[in-house]
Amino acid sequence: MAANPSVLDPSRRAADLERMRTETFDLVVIGGGVTGAGVALDAATRGLSVALVEQRDFAAGTSSRSSKLFHGGLRYLEQFDFGLVTEALHERNLMLRRLCPHLARPVSFLYPLTHRVWERAYVGAGIALYDVLAAFGDNPLPRHRHYSRRAATTLVPSLRDGSCTGGIRYWDAQVDDARHTMAVVRTAAAHGAAIATSVRAVDIHRDQGGTVEAISVVDLESGDADHPRIRIEARQVVNATGVWTDQIQDLVGGSSLRVRASKGVHLVVPRDRIDAGTGLICRTPKSVLFVIPWGAHWLVGTTDSDWELDLAHPAASSTDVDYLLDQANRWLDPGLTKDDVIGVYAGLRPLLYGESESTSKLSREHAVSTVTPGLITVAGGKYTTYRVMASDAVDAVVSALGRSERSRTADVPLVGAAGWDDVRDRRDELARDAGVAPAVIDHLLGRFGAETTEVLELLRQDPTLGDHLPGTDQYLAVEVHVATAIEGALHLDDVLTRRTRISIETADRGVSAAPVAARIMARVLDWDEATIAAEVGAYRLRVAAELDSQEAADDRTADERRLGAPDVRAFTP
């Protein structure tokens, strides 16, 4: 596996940092969320030389904290945003069919109806249009279906008596957003992009004519308290930092786009707390509520509120949790309680400024703009349309460079996609050869795709890596090794929160798994005992701070409490 050009191990990071010190790149991308990753991949596959820097970890911000759906956005039809919905549905279908079929999977939702006749006609027409728009993108999913009240309650026995007069079921797709973003990054690396996380952009340099010619970054893993700067020469720079867009633009003293952060909170509850054969999408006074099947769990979300505090650590408060439980319990019987919630996560949507003060009405569409010659900002948008956003941004880059290459990413499968169906067809054989249950192979296939065979080879070399991590019933020790040796994880939080979902899927939020995971990481990253202890201690305190914030009465209190949690990554003044 070491010969794989997509591998992001410590030696690759060192080599890429050396490239950043010595090369002049056609493009430097700031931001390692899905949009920045998409920009790096799009540019690299057009033949541009590319570097990508991220101040924390891949998908550490918004891109690991979404509703985890590839979807067209059914509610945007009601806003007559047919273009956005059509574009998103095309992208959804592309993910399912070609780009990452190992990571994306079909998921259905029941829309409960509460009025007779007119609502069925109104909602049914909208969902039928949703299917029609999806058909333009070679839709691989079933068409919607109408249900009577009895059929709806049979499909979802947990629906409260009298809560609906019937329902309509439709299909979208689901994805683990953080793993998908990491796969986009690794695919960009395989096409020659230089990649480095824990690298913060601190300055943007312009020549005498005012054109951007370089950026300065600091390597937060250098171990040097002063964090000496690295100057990266660039012909073009793309700012793809999401909710941090304004801060990067401020480095050149101006802005062309402004972004507002809208907080979205999701609850994680065990699968047995809701008896349902499908997800739910229900109207709320402010927006819609999703109840989304997620492996052995349900995701319940989301909120949509303005956030003006710490962008790196949005906090869910007791008010957020109560709101989501109240909205869910309008439909569910028995209702959910706080004791049912085993995980909570909060993310920030980067919304373009609009006329309305309500974040739920700000634009979900994206924009690409030249801030100053040599610096391009891409902002807004939806997770599902990341590839379109990236293509538009790189179109602006190649135009500025006087080149004409077109985007190729619609035909570039992500790492793990090529050949995954052949590996999937050998599921039982692989299970027998590896001495594991077929369910283990299913789990690995849904995370690694065609690379599952290489993960199994690691198990053959070291059978102890086949042990389950403490507190989990599905994650294996080998996944921590892969996260560190192949997927670029540098810190314990990277593994427990993004390479896996242990931090939100286990009752103790990963605290019991942390010491074992840290020791596996130590073998790859050469950590000493003090470093292992610091990583485990920082993770435990972060979990404690999050739990503390969820007991707070309001967001400001939650954020103030959270600021007491340490971060192993150093910060520059």
- Tens digits of per-residue pLDDT, 183-194? 999 999 999 999
| Alpha carbon 443 to chain centroid, angstroms | 19
User: Which of the residue ranges 348-357, 362-371, 424-433, 463-472 would you say has the lowest mean pLDDT?
Assistant: 348-357
The whole-angstrom separation of Cα 167 and Cα 330 is: 16
Q: What is the mean pLDDT of residues 106-110?
A: 98
Give the pLDDT score at 555.
46
pLDDT band at 315, cuts 50/70/90?
Answer: confident
CA-nearest of 177, 217, 187 to 41 is 187
pLDDT above 50 (res 35):
yes
Average per-residue pLDDT in the chain?
91
Q: What is the mean pLDDT of residues 68-75?
A: 90
CA-nearest of 565, 555, 557, 561 to 263 is 555
CA atoms within 13 A on the CB side of 226: 3
User: Which of the residue ranges 15-29, 337-351, 546-560 would you say has the lowest mean pLDDT?
Assistant: 546-560
pLDDT above 60 (res 358):
no
- Residue 22: enclosing H or E segment and its boundaries? helix 10-22
Q: How many helices (H) and strands (E) does the chain have?
A: 20, 18
Give the pLDDT score at 552.
64
- Residue 504: enclosing H or E segment and its boundaries? helix 502-505
CB 542 within 8 A of CB 509: no
pLDDT above 80 (res 180):
yes
User: Which of the residue ranges 259-268, 311-320, 558-567 would you say has the lowest mean pLDDT?
Assistant: 558-567
pLDDT above 60 (res 18):
yes
Cβ-proximal residues to 316 (8 Å cutoff; 6+ apart), any chain: 265, 344, 345, 346, 546, 549, 550, 558
Between residues 385 and 353, which one has the greater pLDDT? 385
Cis peptide before 334 (omega within 30 of 0): yes
Listed in sequence order, the DSSP H helices in 53-176 are: 74-78, 82-94, 118-135, 149-155
Q: What is the mean pLDDT of residues 113-126?
A: 93
Give the pLDDT score at 1.
42
pLDDT band at 413, cuts 50/70/90?
Answer: very high
Collapsing DSSP states into helix, strand and coil, what is residue 216?
strand
Listed in sequence order, the DSSP H helices in 114-241 are: 118-135, 149-155, 177-190
Strands in 31-71 per DSSP E: 50-53, 69-70
Kindly report, residue by residue over 278-298, the tens digit of the pLDDT.
999 999 887 889 999 999 999
Strand 279-283 to strand 375-380: parallel, antiparallel, or no bridges (unpaired)?
unpaired
CB 351 within 8 A of CB 62: no
State the pTM of this model: 0.94
Kindly report, residue by residue over 474-533, the tens digit of the pLDDT.
999 999 999 999 999 999 999 999 999 999 999 999 999 999 999 999 999 999 999 999
CB 448 within 8 A of CB 499: no
Give the pLDDT score at 357.
39
Q: What is the mean pLDDT of residues 393-402?
A: 97
Collapsing DSSP states into helix, strand and coil, what is residue 175?
strand
The whole-angstrom separation of Cα 183 and Cα 416 is: 8
Domains defined for the chain, CATH in brackets? 10-61+179-258+366-411 (3.50.50.60), 64-174+260-361 (3.30.9.10), 462-562 (1.10.8)
CA-nearest of 395, 298, 424 to 42 is 395
pLDDT band at 568, cuts 50/70/90?
Answer: low
CB 33 within 8 A of CB 61: yes
pLDDT band at 450, cuts 50/70/90?
Answer: very high
Cβ-proximal residues to 67 (8 Å cutoff; 6+ apart), any chain: 264, 266, 290, 292, 299, 301, 302
Question: How many Å is the maximal CA-CA distance in the chain?
Answer: 73
pLDDT band at 355, cuts 50/70/90?
Answer: very low
pLDDT above 50 (res 560):
no
Give the pLDDT score at 183.
98
Residue 211's alpha-carbon distances to 50, 75, 266, 275, 523, in angstroms, are 18, 42, 42, 59, 45
pLDDT above 90 (res 31):
yes
Q: How many residues does the chain have?
A: 573
